[in-house]
Each structure stands twice: as structure tokens, then as C-alpha cells.
């Protein structure tokens, strides 16, 4: 079988669909290279002295791991100088990161969660990087937070890397979803899955069941129906999976179907949810929709939500279309 590299795929995609201009291709290649560097650091683990906490907190008030900070630095440094970006924003930083004046300013803006699932770092369970690419608004001068507040439907590209038994990069530029595997000996990304599709029906769901007592009625109703199994209203046996690493949970759904849920709950009624709209929900929703799945916040399509702030949180229901539609309908009722 002829191996297709990430670069070859991007060049051919531009020829076929005119969807990846040279600047965007460069941007994706640079992000992919940064993910390779992060993968290497993750793979070293204790040998690289990168495990454990850094003794600091991020803007969300979450304790930062050493690898969180390292991954953030790797992505910033890799993307600063190429001339394809106007600014970056990261889940780990309070405000945006404009491109320094000594470098040319490009027409794209990059958002990322440098290391998703960081509670899994120290126990050697799959973690990953999530990224989202937006176009800078026309006539933008000095970039501001406001320039980033675009609905998810405006994304020009999104992807994630999973650092697991294999390191994989899943990517969409709005024309289907493809998966690349890192050949660790050669150091290259090789196309291994084309046009990934999420089955519309599923028997698997992912949710943190320890929060059951805090859920709102629509979520309780939906999960109870699944737990009732073959003799319940759904008439089939469901399995539960929960990795507590969104990239790993979504990657499983992309490969074999399922629904991933991170609902809002009664513990903090004023919070719309826990996951971040701009760094997690939007890029993942773009990928899931491109693979034939669906994604909502329980009431509306995720990609239609107009962001109001950079670190906005949101409830998330994504994956197999028929299941997402059902749980969304329960919320609307």
C-alpha cells in the first residue's frame, strides 16, 4: 500500500477541493509538528521529569501539571514565527497571545487545549491536544479577544492528537475527517483512515456516573432508560465507557459510535457546563459533524452558539446522531 503523508494529503486536498491555501497548510503542518514534540515528551514520562504538578493554577483555577505548561509552550513557540497566524488563544492562558511584532502577521487564529485529560498524565492513560483554526475578521488591526468570539460554524479547520499506544492526529478542514498515525521511526504522519464515519445508532455511552445525584431530570431520564437495558423502554443493552480524557472518548466514538455527555448539573447552577466552548466543544463538534454525527449543548446545535467570552463553558452532548437527537429532545421537552 502506498503511504500518503500529511503534507501530500494537504496538497492533494487543495488541488481537489481548493480548501487548503498554502498558509493554512503551513499552519496545520506546524501544529502537527508541535504535537509530535508533545508526544515525545509524554512518551518519556518520568524519565523526562515531566510528571506531577507545577504548583501553579491556570485561568480556570485548575492545578497545572508540568506537561500542561510544557505543551502550551511548545505550541506557542512552534506557531509564533511562521507568518500564518495573527494571534493564539489557549485554555491555559488568561488572555490571547498576539504574534510578536518581530514576526509577520498572518490571516488565521489558532485556539488550543494543549493537553486534554491531564488527570490521566501520571497514570499513563491516553491524553491529547485539541486545536481549532479561525479566520481573522476582515480589516482586523491589533487582534483582541473579541476577534476570537466566532461561532464554531466559522472554523476553517479543527483537529486533535491522541497520545496513546499509537500517536494519532485526527483532522478536518470541512471536507470529511481523516486520521494520521505517527510513524515514530520515520517521524512522519501517515494517512491511516479516510473519511471516518460515526454510526447513527449505538449501544455505548460515556458520562461520569459519579455525578448522577447532581444531574438535571432530562439527563437522569435518558441514562436511566439506557441502564434499564433490554427489558427497558430502549429495548437494548447499553455499555458505559468513561476515560475522563475527552480526546480518547471522542476518538472511540469516531471509530465505533457512541454518545459522550458532559452535562451541566446542580452543583453550580450558574455554570452552563464544565467543558470549554472555544477549546474543546467547538473543535470536537466540527469533527463529529463532519463524520456524520451530531453535537448540542442539550438545547441547540453547538456550532451555532455565539461565544460571549474566551473561556466560556458549555454542556456537551455529542456522537451518534440518533442518540444526541434523543437526549436533546428530552431537554427541549
Annotated ligand binding at 211? The verdict is no
Identify any residues that bridge with 206 across adjacent strands, giving them in sequence order. 260
Alpha-carbon distance of 200 to 289, in angstroms, equals: 11
Annotated ligand binding at 91? The verdict is yes
Annotated ligand binding at 118? The verdict is yes
Annotated ligand binding at 265? The verdict is no
Annotated ligand binding at 309? The verdict is no
Annotated ligand binding at 116? The verdict is yes
Alpha-carbon distance of 207 to 269, in angstroms, equals: 19
Q: Please say whether the beta carbons of 310 and 149 come within 8 A.
A: yes
Rg (CA), the chain: 19
Annotated ligand binding at 280? The verdict is yes
Annotated ligand binding at 183? The verdict is no
Residues annotated within a binding site for substrate:
116-119, 208, 274
Residues annotated within a binding site for Mg(2+):
91, 113, 115-116, 280
Residues annotated within a binding site:
91, 113, 115-119, 208, 274, 280
Amino acid at each position: 500500500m502506498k503511504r500518503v503523508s500529511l503534507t501530500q494529503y494537504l496538497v492533494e486536498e487543495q488541488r481537489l477541493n481548493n480548501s487548503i491555501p498554502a498558509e493554512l497548510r503551513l499552519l496545520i503542518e506546524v501544529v502537527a509538528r508541535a504535537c509530535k514534540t508533545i508526544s515525545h515528551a509524554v512518551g518519556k514520562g518520568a524519565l523526562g521529569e515531566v510528571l506531577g504538578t507545577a504548583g501553579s493554577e491556570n485561568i480556570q483555577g485548575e492545578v497545572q501539571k508540568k506537561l500542561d505548561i510544557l505543551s502550551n509552550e511548545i505550541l506557542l513557540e512552534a506557531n509564533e514565527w511562521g507568518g500564518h497566524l495573527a494571534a493564539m488563544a489557549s485554555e491555559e492562558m488568561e488572555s490571547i497571545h498576539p504574534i510578536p511584532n518581530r514576526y509577520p502577521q498572518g490571516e488565521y487564529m489558532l485556539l488550543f487545549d494543549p493537553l486534554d485529560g491531564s488527570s490521566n498524565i501520571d497514570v499513563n492513560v491516553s491524553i491529547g491536544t485539541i486545536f481549532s483554526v479561525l479566520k481573522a475578521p476582515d480589516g482586523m488591526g491589533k487582534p483582541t479577544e473579541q476577534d476570537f468570539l466566532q461561532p464554531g460554524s466559522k472554523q476553517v479547520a479543527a483537529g486533535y492528537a491522541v497520545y496513546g499506544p499509537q500517536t494519532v492526529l485526527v483532522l478536518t478542514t470541512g471536507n470529511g475527517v481523516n486520521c494520521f498515525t505517527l510513524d515514530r521511526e520515520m517521524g512522519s504522519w501517515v494517512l491511516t483512515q479516510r473519511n471516518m464515519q460515526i454510526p447513527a445508532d449505538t449501544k455505548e455511552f460515556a458520562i461520569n456516573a459519579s455525578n448522577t445525584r447532581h444531574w438535571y431530570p432530562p439527563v437522569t431520564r435518558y441514562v436511566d432508560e439506557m441502564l434499564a437495558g433490554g427489558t427497558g423502554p430502549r429495548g437494548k443493552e447499553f455499555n458505559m465507557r468513561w476515560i475522563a480524557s475527552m480526546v480518547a472518548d471522542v476518538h472511540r466514538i469516531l471509530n465505533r459510535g457512541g454518545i459522550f455527555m458532559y452535562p451541566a448539573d446542580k452543583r453550580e447552577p450558574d455554570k452552563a457546563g464544565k467543558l470549554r466552548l472555544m477549546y474543546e466543544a467547538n473543535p470536537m463538534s466540527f469533527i463529529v459533524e463532519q463524520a456524520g454525527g451530531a453535537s448540542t449543548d442539550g438545547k441547540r446545535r453547538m456550532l451555532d452558539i455565539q461565544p460571549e467570552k474566551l473561556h466560556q463553558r458549555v454542556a456537551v452532548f455529542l456522537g451518534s446522531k440518533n442518540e444526541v437527537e434523543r437526549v436533546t429532545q428530552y431537554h427541549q421537552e
